[in-house]
A and B are shown apart, each in its own frame.
Chain A
């Protein structure tokens, strides 16, 4: 018996060596395959993400070329220009809020658009989530329908509706409610309307995703425990819809902050928004470094907002636990 055991052990030794060798070979092969499989992702992230960012970062520290482009000389002027006016005669710097106010205006518009989209999107998502499952897909389809046409065309359509000779004004005058056109196009309100219209689905879809998972028996349980409609909403539905609300707000706020087409067409470019201001630097103003710097500052702002949201979400989780 004991002999047999030693026997098997001695015969197994080389076998396990071979096994280890084979395993090592397999591991390195696996590593190679993994790198190979990851390559498309790495390339994509590198080319569409990191490279443009690096270019913007480098350009923001250069001097503008006379006819656009850049001159290869190091300069922090782009960042200085963001906060200060340089006197053309004596080069002295005076603090200026002109660009800051553009940022502030854009951020404000993005915030109220997000709030507006939340106020409209929540009842919409709740409505869809409480429909019988068979009907929900139809409603979701209707919500996503605008995505089937190009944003530019949709924005033009909005323009046709609200302009002075547009659908709304003509109708109002026809039924005699107003005598002249109400000015709607080229106002902040028009931009607000256009942004909400464009980004509402980004609010509705994540909200729907979390409301659809809500167990409506919990709503009944809350009613049973003396909660009225408002309290059920506040104490049960809203807390459960929180992840969807956060996702929806992020998805609406970020593209709104840098929106370009909507302020351009519906705002008439009368008041500069960040997106239009950056676009201007690469066009008429021929100041590529400043455009790059503004884009990077915008990105930093978004990152800060995301960090704050993340932090408050983590805090909420801790306080629940």
Chain B
């Protein structure tokens, strides 16, 4: 549906040149909840603004349903945006804001009124149609912005960190609300966030970005379980890294002992980084891939406990339910071979 190929954008020139997008290619499917995830300044907004038509790429092309739209102005693209700061029109009331797009499309009054009413119902704001914008709470403004972008029934809805200004509880609520809206309307959502948890819970697919590049595209599970790069593994969730060298015997020699892995390994002698999530590290268990260490620290966090185990050469954290272990006591950990990711940088 949206085909983005080799987009590059450099802001400024000479000394101050800043590559906001570096050869970005991605294809977003119809009805997909697609998320751009990455730290602040990695180019997410720039990419979104390019899809909306506010920014021209230096090179590359954007196609919508097969048609090139790269140079089409924003008001000719069937794409609407929910802006980070909402950008609601302060001189119009809620219903006028929501009806604005339809009015600009030249729909007749009756249709506009009906659609506005239906859309406000969809975001559960039908009781506030006549309110002025400055009389709304942040969460309500958020819903108006959403309704305003949904009302013209665009092919694609772009959302730039729409939930970042909301408090925790409201954010959780809006996350499921957005998911519901996406399913009900069948509109393709392109969602921008720097919050990995938000990305994992809401998305069909995620593109992880860093410094203007897309590092990995995949389903939340793929990204979490099989990160393609150290940056991706580190950015999403907690993870342990263990440096090592591939041996002739098909294992990885680390400072704390040899480890077997099921994932394919590069040629013997190559340095690799092994990665494993804390919840996959098994405390106390004996068997293959178990390493001896001491329990350095125990942190209780409600639904579980994190054990920091000192393995001599490295430290490894291990997440577990109950933990009848004493700090300072010897504790070995087992790293299941099928859970060890092999990353080459």
Chain A 196-229, CB-CB to B under 8 Å as 1, else 0, gives: 0000000000000000000101101111111110
Please classify how large the interface on chain A is, using the bins under 10, 10 to 19, 20 to 34, 35 or more: 10 to 19
Q: Which of A217, A226, A239, A320 contacts B83 (CB 8 A)?
A: A217
Do A221 and B104 touch (CB < 8 A)? no
Question: Given A224-B74, A225-B148, A227-B75, are A240 and B87 neighbors across the interface (CB < 8 Å)?
Answer: no
A98 within 8 A of B: no
- What's the least CB distance linking B107 to chain A, in Å? 10
Do A225 and B104 touch (CB < 8 A)? yes
A247 within 8 A of B: no
Do B100 and A224 touch (CB < 8 A)? no
Provide the bound-state CA to CA distance between A218 and B149, in Å.
13
Q: Which of A215, A218, A226, A320 contacts B104 (CB 8 A)?
A: A226
Provide the bound-state CA to CA distance between A239 and B92, in Å.
10
Do A220 and B91 touch (CB < 8 A)? no
Do B89 and A236 touch (CB < 8 A)? yes
Tell me the interface secondary structure of chain A in the complex.
helix
B132 within 8 A of A: yes
Do B132 and A220 touch (CB < 8 A)? no
Q: Which of B81, B87, B90, B104 contacts A227 (CB 8 A)?
A: B104
Chain B 48-86, CB-CB to A under 8 Å as 1, else 0, gives: 000011100000000000000000011100011101010
- On chain B, the number of residues with a Cβ less than 8 Å from chain A's Cβ atoms is 25
Residue of A nearest to B85 (CB): A217
B105 within 8 A of A: yes
A231 within 8 A of B: yes
- Among B83, B91, B132, the most chain A Cβ lie within 10 Å of the Cβ of B91
- What's the least CB distance linking B261 to chain A, in Å? 49
Do B87 and A226 touch (CB < 8 A)? no
Q: In the assembled complex, which residues on chain B have CB atoms less than 8 Å from the CB atom of A222? A: 89, 100, 104
Do B91 and A225 touch (CB < 8 A)? no
B283 within 8 A of A: no
Q: In the assembled complex, which residues on chain A have CB atoms less than 8 Å from the CB atom of B75? A: 223-228
- What's the least CB distance linking A316 to chain B, in Å? 10
Do A224 and B91 touch (CB < 8 A)? no
Can you name 21 A-B pairs with beta carbons within 8 Å? Answer: A217-B83, A218-B90, A220-B54, A221-B83, A222-B100, A223-B54, A223-B73, A224-B74, A225-B75, A225-B80, A225-B101, A225-B104, A225-B149, A226-B75, A226-B104, A226-B105, A226-B152, A227-B100, A240-B90, A240-B91, A320-B91
Residues of A within 8 A of B (CB): 215, 217-218, 220-228, 231, 235-236, 239-240, 320-321
Top 10 A-B residue pairs of the complex, sorted by shortest distance between their CB atoms: A225-B101, A221-B87, A226-B104, A223-B74, A217-B87, A227-B104, A226-B75, A239-B91, A224-B81, A223-B75
Apart from the given pairs A223-B73, A239-B91, 9 other A-B contacts in the complex at a CB distance below 8 Å: A218-B90, A224-B54, A226-B152, A227-B100, A228-B75, A235-B100, A236-B89, A240-B90, A240-B91
